[in-house]
Amino acid sequence: MGMVLGVLGSGSGSNMQAILDAIEAGTLDARIALVLSDKPDAFILERAKRHGIETGVIDCRGFQTKFPEEAQAETAARLRDAGVELVCLAGFLRLVKSPLLDVFPQRILNIHPSLLPAFPGLESWKQALDAGASEAGCTVHFVDEGMDTGPIILQEAVPILPGDSAATLHARIQVLEHRLYPAAISQVSRGWKA
C-alpha cells in the first residue's frame, strides 16, 4: 500500500491537485487522507472536497503570520488521527516548528519556488526578478527548524525570459512544481518502503 499523505496549504492548491492527478494516473503510489488550511476560504479546501477528501481549518488564534504552538499541536493530532505518514506543505505560508516538527521528524516536505538556498521566504519568484537573476526554479526539501533550509530532495531550474512579469515567471515555475512535487514524494516513499 502507498504512503498516506496529509497536505497543508493556504492558497489555490494547484500543487495538491498535481499530487492527486499523479495518484489518479498511477504514477504516485499514495493516498491523501486529510487536507488542512489556515485560511477557511482557501481554494485548496474546495478542491479537496470535490475529490471526497476530508478537510479542516487550522485555528491560528487570530495571528496573521505566526503558527501558534497550540495550533501546531492540534494540527499534529489531526494528522496522526487520520493515519498520515508524510506531511506535504503545498503553498502553506506559515513556518512549521516545534511541536508539529517533533511529531513528524524528517516527515514533512515543502515545495519552494526558488533554487534554494537562493531566495527563501515569500514570493521568491519576485525576489529573483528584482535581483536580476538569469534563472529561477523550484525545490522540494525536507522541513527543518529553519526557514526553507532543510535537506533538498529535488531541484530544477527554469530560465527567466526577457519581458517576464512576476505572474509569467510564477506560472513557468508552477508548471515545474506540478511535475517535481509528485516525483519527490514518490522518491521519498520508495526510500522508506524499500
Q: Contact between 55 and ligand GAR (CB under 6 A)?
A: no
Residues 6 or more apart whose Cβ sits within 8 Å of residue 153: 109, 140, 141, 142, 184, 187, 188
Residues 6 or more apart whose Cβ sits within 8 Å of residue 101: 108, 143, 144, 145
Choice from 2, 4, 11, 107 touching ligand GAR (CB under 6 A): 11
Q: Contact between 36 and ligand GAR (CB under 6 A)?
A: no
Q: Contact between 155 and ligand GAR (CB under 6 A)?
A: no
Q: Which stretch binds ligand GAR (CB under 6 A): 6-14, 52-60, 62-70, 97-105?
A: 6-14
Q: Contact between 12 and ligand GAR (CB under 6 A)?
A: yes
Residues 72-111 within binding reach of ligand GAR (CB under 6 A): 90-91, 111
> Is the Cβ of residue 24 or residue 80 nearer to ligand GAR in the bound state?
24
Q: Report the distance separating Cα 163 and Cα 161, nearest Å.
A: 6
Q: Report the distance separating Cα 45 and Cα 32, nearest Å.
A: 13
Q: Contact between 182 and ligand GAR (CB under 6 A)?
A: no
Choice from 6, 9, 150, 182 touching ligand GAR (CB under 6 A): 9
Rounded to 5°, the CA angle 128-21-112 comes to 20
